[in-house]
């Protein structure tokens, strides 16, 4: 990897000034939602807002209120670090005109105006709900109506077709997480001094404070995922980490921190996946992930090859998520982070009237 990173070539001196980069960052709200290679912020015109989810998901919303995701709404604009980044980017109002909105807030269109209504909320993870919220809750268990397995299956298919990202659709969920936890904008890092991404790992971060595993137990428990689910979280998380980092290297334009940090992230994911492939040889798709991860050099001016590799990895990950449930992947257990690595403390479930 070190040789690949050192081989990065900028293709001539960097053209343009820091001011031009800042202007590109502040083009307006329309540009905030164009992160197709990573994940996408929920479309404000279709955001229902946290209160719409809280009507049924009281326990989940209470768990959310104890998270960093919730607190960012008030804390981020007051953060000295955030203000310093905004200053370097020429941004005066974090909640109005910055790329911070894309990942740190939930935006909703009200009276033809787009405004932040919450921090990172339900729809940040599960997509804007206006099109699917009534479909997914068409049978809530509140009535005497009996829903057959076929009816339930069709209801969930309809909700997913309208954009809902369910925990069951693990690749889509992971993709959405990494869309923000690995920064998709070079200038935020190189000019603003923003971190290139958090120390995000899907298994450990999903089993800590963001856990809201209460719905099917009617609020009586908030247990962590089972062994098979954990394996899938770990494996798919590593794969999406690699995919996202490769896309980051592909978008890098200059030999500055963003390019190097994305390359380092990609190489680390390749190494971890190589270990996973050896631990679970009965899942040959893992070796394919590694193969495609090494098929493109981690260097500048290599966008076509890097994007092609990332696209192939995406296809394999979707296949893995659909084909396996983790029950045959016990070999991963020795590689996965344990409870001591979980990000924050999960809220204990309690009766909510």
Residue 140 lies in a domain: no
Report the SS3 class of residue 58.
helix
pLDDT tens string 275-318: 999 999 999 999 999 999 999 999 999 999 999 999 999 999 99
pLDDT tens string 181-229: 999 999 999 999 999 999 999 999 999 999 988 887 776 789 999 999 9
Residue 29: per-residue pLDDT:
33
Q: Are residues 209 and 276 in the same domain?
A: yes
Residue 145: per-residue pLDDT:
62
Q: Is the dihedral of CA 18, 21, 178, 73 positive or negative?
A: positive
| CA 322 distance to own-chain centroid | 19
Residue 141 lies in a domain: no
Which residues form the domain of 73? 24-128
| Domain termination site, one of 99, 128, 157 | 128
Residue 151 lies in a domain: no
Written as one string, the DSSP assignment of 146-200 is PPPHHHHHHHHHHHHHTT---TTSHHHHHHHHHHHHB---HHHHHTT---SB---
Q: Are residues 239 and 333 in the same domain?
A: yes
Q: Percent helix, strand, coil in the chain (nearest 5)?
A: 55, 5, 40
Residue 139 lies in a domain: no
Instruction: Please report which confidence band the pLDDT of residue 349 belongs to, taking 50, 70 and 90 as the band edges.
Output: confident
pLDDT tens string 157-171: 999 999 999 999 999
pLDDT tens string 227-244: 999 999 999 999 999 999
């Amino acid at each position: 990897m070190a040789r690949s990173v050192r081989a990065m070539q900028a293709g001539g001196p960097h053209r343009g000034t820091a001011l031009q980069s800042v202007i590109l960052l502040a083009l307006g709200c329309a540009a905030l939602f164009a992160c197709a290679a990573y994940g996408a912020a929920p479309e404000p015109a279709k955001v229902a807002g946290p209160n719409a989810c809280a009507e049924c998901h009281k326990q989940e919303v209470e768990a959310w209120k104890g998270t960093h995701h919730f607190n960012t709404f008030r804390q981020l604009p007051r953060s000295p670090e955030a203000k310093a980044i905004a200053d370097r980017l020429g941004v005066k109002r974090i909640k109005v005109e910055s790329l911070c909105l894309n990942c740190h807030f939930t935006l909703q269109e009200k009276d033809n105006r787009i405004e932040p209504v919450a921090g990172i909320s339900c729809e940040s993870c599960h997509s804007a709900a206006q099109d699917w919220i009534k479909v997914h809750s068409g049978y809530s268990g509140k009535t005497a109506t009996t829903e057959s397995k076929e009816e339930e299956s069709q209801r969930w298919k309809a909700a997913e077709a309208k954009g809902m990202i369910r925990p069951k659709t693990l690749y889509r969920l992971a993709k959405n997480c990494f869309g923000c936890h690995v920064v998709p904008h070079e200038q935020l890092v190189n000019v603003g001094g923003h971190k290139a991404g958090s120390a995000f790992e899907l298994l450990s971060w999903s089993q800590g404070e963001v856990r809201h595993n209460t719905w099917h137990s009617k609020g009586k428990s908030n247990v962590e995922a089972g062994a098979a689910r954990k394996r899938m979280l770990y494996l798919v998380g590593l794969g999406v980490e690699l995919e996202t980092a490769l896309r980051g290297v592909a978008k890098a334009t200059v030999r500055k921190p963003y390019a190097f940090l994305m390359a380092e992230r990609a190489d680390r994911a390749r190494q971890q996946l190589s270990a996973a492939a050896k631990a679970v040889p009965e899942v040959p798709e893992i070796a394919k992930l590694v193969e495609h991860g090494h098929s493109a050099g981690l260097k500048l001016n290599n966008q076509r090859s890097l994007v092609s590799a990332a696209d192939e990895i995406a296809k394999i990950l979707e296949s893995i998520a659909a084909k396996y449930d983790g029950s045959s992947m016990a070999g991963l257990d020795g590689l996965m982070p344990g409870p001591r690595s979980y990000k924050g403390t999960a809220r204990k479930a309690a009766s909510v009237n």
